[in-house]
Structure 1
Amino acid sequence: MLSNNLHVLLEQKNAANDIEANGFDPWLIVLLLVGGLLLAFLIGNYVLYMYAQKALPPKKKQPISRKKMKRERLKQGVAAPGE
Structure 2
Amino acid sequence: MADDFEFADKVPPSFDSAGNASKGFNPGLIVLLLVGGLLLIFLVGNFVLYTYAQKTVPPRKKKPISKKKMKKERLKQGISAPGE
Question: What TM-score do you get using the length of structure 2 for normalisation?
Answer: 0.70
RMSD of aligned Cα (Å): 1.5
Mapping of 1:2-13 within 5 angstroms? none
* Residue 18 of structure 1: how far off its partner (Å): 2.5
Per-residue CA deviations over 1:4-46 (Å, capped at 9, x if unaligned) read xxxxxxxxxx8xx5232xx111111111111111110110000
Mapping of 1:4-83 within 5 angstroms? 17-19=19-21, 20=23, 23-83=24-84
Which is helix-richer, 1 or 2? 1
Aligned length: 66
* Residue 59 of structure 1: how far off its partner (Å): 1.4
Instruction: Tell me the SS of whatever aligns to 1:81.
Output: coil
Following the alignment from structure 1 to structure 2, what is the Cα–Cα distance between the partners of residues 73 and 51?
A: 40
Which runs of no fewer than 5 residues in structure 1 stay unpaired? 1-13
Identity of aligned residues (%): 71
Counterpart residue identity of residue 33, structure 2: L
Report what 2:8 is aligned to.
none
Which runs of no fewer than 5 residues in structure 2 stay unpaired? 1-15
Question: What TM-score do you get using the length of structure 1 for normalisation?
Answer: 0.71
